[in-house]
Structure 1
Amino acid sequence: MESIESIKQLKARYFRFVDEKRHDELAALFTPDAKIVTDGIAFGSPADFAGTVRDFIGAAPTVHHGHMPEIEITAQDTASGIWAMEDLLTFPAGENAPKGHNGYGQYRETYRRVDGNWLIESLSLTRFRKDPLENWTPDSV
C-alpha cells in the first residue's frame, strides 16, 4: 500500500508541475530512459517532453486531472498503472493561437523505483475525446 500511495503522489506531482509550469521538475519525475508517447507522438527524453510542454502551453492556464487509478505492483521495484484523465487548455486569442480543448482519455504507465523513489518509466496518453474551447482575451477576464 505504501508503494501505491507513493505512485499516486508521483502522478499528482506530474499534473501539478504541468499546470504550475515547473518543467525541470516535471522532467525529473521520469527515469532518464523513459518512453513517453502522447497522442501518438513519441518523445526522445523526459527533457524533450517537458520542453515541448513548455513551448506548447507557455503561460496559458491549464488544468490537468487524473482519476480512478488502477495501480498494480508487478515486482519489488516495478509497477504499472492506468489513470482516467481530463485536461483543459485555453490560449490567449491572437493570430496563429493554438485551439484550446477539454480533453478526456487515459494514461497507461509503468513505474520503477530508483534509489528508493518511484519514477515514471513509460507513459502513453491516449485522448478519447477533445471538445474545442474558445480562446480568450486576458483583458476580458
Structure 2
Amino acid sequence: MTDGERAIAMADIAALKARYCRTLDTKDWDGHRAVFAPDLVADFRASAGGDDPAMMTHGAAAYVAKLAAALVDVITVHHCHTPEVRIESSAAATGIWAMEDKLWVGANSALPFAWMHGYGHYHEHYVRIDGTWRIAATRLSRLRVDIGERQRNG
C-alpha cells in the first residue's frame, strides 16, 4: 500500500468507529449491524468486572439483537478517541481506541443499576468487505466503572 492508501484507510476506519458510536447511541440497529462483518466476534466478557461467558457473542446479527434488547429504556453516550490504528494490508487492520461510556437506565430497563460511567479501551480487528471497512472483532477492556444503584422501595 502507498502512504496515501494507508491514510485513506485510517480515515475510513475512524469514520467507521464514529458510525459505531452514533448508531449505538441513536439505537439505529440496522445501521449498527452494518458497521460489523457478518461473522463478528464481540468479546465483552471482562467489561463488567468478571468473566461472564454470556458476554461473548458470535455473529453481527446475534450481537446487535442482544444489544438492542439490553438497551431498552436506556440512554447511552459513547465516546471513542485517541486511536492507535495499524493497517496490516489493503483488507486488514487492527486498532485500539480509548473509550468512555455513560448509561442512564430508565424504570422499565432490566439492567440492575440506575446509571453507569465507564472508561477503557476497545481492541479491534477490521476487515475490508466489498471495498468497505467493517469491525470483524471487538473486545472491551475496562479501567474503571462507576455505577449508581437503583433505589429500592420498602
Length-normalised TM-score, structure 1: 0.88
For residues 31-46 of structure 1, the aligned pairs below 5 Å read 31-40=37-46, 41-46=55-60
Of the three residues 126, 131, 134, the one matched with 2:146 is: 131
Question: What amino acid is aligned across from residue 12 of structure 1 in structure 2?
Answer: A
Distance in 2 of aligned mates of 1:94 and 1:111: 35
What are the ranges of 5 or more consecutive residues in structure 1 without an aligned counterpart? 137-141
Change (3 A) 1:85 1:39: farther
3-state SS of the aligned residue for 1:125?
strand
1:71 aligns with 2:85: yes
Of the three residues 11, 17, 26, the one matched with 1:5 is: 11
Of the three residues 1, 23, 27, the one matched with 1:21 is: 27
For residues 46-57 of structure 1, the aligned pairs below 5 Å read 46-57=60-71
Q: For the aligned residues, what is the CA RMSD?
A: 1.9
1:80 aligns with 2:86: no
1:121 aligns with 2:136: yes
1:112 aligns with 2:127: yes
Distance in 1 of aligned mates of 2:86 and 2:120: 20
Question: 2:3 aligns to what?
Answer: none
Q: Deviations over 1:53-99 (max 9, x none)?
A: 11111132110010100001011211000000000001124696531
Whether contact under 8 Å (1:39, 1:127) holds in the other structure is no
Distance in 2 of aligned mates of 1:61 and 1:95: 10
Of the three residues 97, 117, 127, the one matched with 1:102 is: 117
Q: How high is the sequence identity, in percent, across the aligned residues?
A: 37
Question: What amino acid is aligned across from residue 18 of structure 1 in structure 2?
Answer: L
Change (3 A) 1:44 1:135: same
Distance in 2 of aligned mates of 1:105 and 1:30: 20
What are the ranges of 5 or more consecutive residues in structure 2 without an aligned counterpart? 1-6, 47-54
3-state SS of the aligned residue for 1:5?
helix
Question: 1:139 aligns to what?
Answer: none
Aligned residues, how many?
136
Q: Deviations over 1:13-39 (max 9, x none)?
A: 001011000112211211111111113
Change (3 A) 1:44 1:97: closer
